[in-house]
């Protein structure tokens, strides 16, 4: 009963608030760019098994491995095609081939930085993205931002009304030890005095999308 009262209270606050959309973060934006520009060759997991690469007989780089040994500066050069045929004095062989588009012609510096942030997630995170982050971002803005803040820092408008300290979803120290299953359980059934359970209001697909978006906030 208490959980249902909290849910009704939260929803009423959300409907009355005009600031109910989570603002995009770098890794989230990068995931969208990766899906539209990169995964046809590098595959949705970044390991190089995309359908276009297979059809063309290409062997794209496994980004989950090479990302760990490349600086952001080098990655920007590779993605943008900057500096022509050489990168830091080295030949492009095994770094950038003719099959790799020069994305600097179509992507802004900000978009390339976002793409790198998502590639870092692919190379370092042990947590799978279970659902659609795009749906998750919308749901986060509608149901979570009021407490956890538009950017996930735990500074939502409800913190000015109630004596509460929502979890900072951008904090890897707090978030990375939690499994996807633990996050799903917390969202479904609630956690603590102020965190309501959304079971019955959100579907399993919704919750998995939320968890996927939260994972990208941590990057």
Contact 49, 43 (CB under 8 A): yes
User: Could you give the residue range(s) of every CATH 1.10.760.10 domain in the chain?
Assistant: 27-124, 130-218
pLDDT at 84: 52
Instruction: Supply 215's token pair.
Output: 């994972």
pLDDT at 160: 92
How far apart are the C-alpha atoms of 110 and 133, rounded to whole Å? Answer: 19
pLDDT at 48: 86
Low-confidence residues in the chain, pLDDT < 50: 1-23, 85-94
Q: Whole-prediction pTM value?
A: 0.75
SS3 2: helix
Q: What is the separation of C-alpha 144 from the centre of its chain, rounded to a whole number of angstroms?
A: 16
* Dihedral of alpha carbons 44, 47, 50, 52, sign: positive
Question: Where do runs of H (alpha helix) occur along 71-179?
Answer: 72-80, 109-124, 133-139, 145-148, 172-175
pLDDT at 90: 44
| Domain range 27-124, CATH class | mainly alpha
| Domain range 130-218, CATH class | mainly alpha
Q: What are phi and psi of 168, to 5 degrees?
A: -80, 105
Give pLDDT tens digits for 12-66: 444 444 344 434 578 999 999 999 999 988 988 888 888 887 777 788 888 888 8
How far apart are the C-alpha atoms of 157 and 148, rounded to whole Å? Answer: 8
pLDDT at 99: 67
């Amino acid at each position: 009963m208490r959980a249902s009262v909290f849910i009704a209270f939260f929803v009423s606050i959300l409907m009355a608030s005009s600031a109910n959309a989570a603002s995009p973060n770098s890794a989230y934006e990068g995931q969208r760019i990766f899906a539209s520009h990169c995964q046809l060759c590098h595959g949705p997991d970044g390991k190089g098994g995309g359908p276009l690469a297979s059809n063309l007989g290409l062997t794209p780089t496994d980004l989950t491995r090479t990302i760990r040994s490349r600086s952001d500066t080098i990655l920007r050069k590779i993605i943008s095609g900057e500096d022509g045929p050489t990168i830091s004095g080295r030949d492009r062989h095994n770094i950038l081939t003719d099959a790799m588009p020069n994305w600097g012609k179509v992507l802004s510096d900000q978009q390339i930085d976002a793409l790198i942030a998502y590639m870092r997630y692919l190379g370092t995170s042990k947590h799978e993205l279970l659902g659609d982050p795009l749906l998750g971002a919308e749901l986060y803005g509608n149901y979570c931002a009021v407490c956890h803040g538009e950017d996930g820092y735990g500074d939502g408008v409800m913190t000015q009304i109630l004596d509460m300290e929502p979890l900072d979803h951008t904090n890897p120290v707090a978030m990375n030890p939690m499994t996807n299953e633990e996050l799903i359980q917390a969202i479904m059934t609630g956690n603590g005095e102020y965190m309501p359970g959304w079971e019955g209001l959100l579907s399993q697909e919704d919750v998995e999308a939320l968890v996927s978006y939260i994972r990208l906030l941590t990057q």
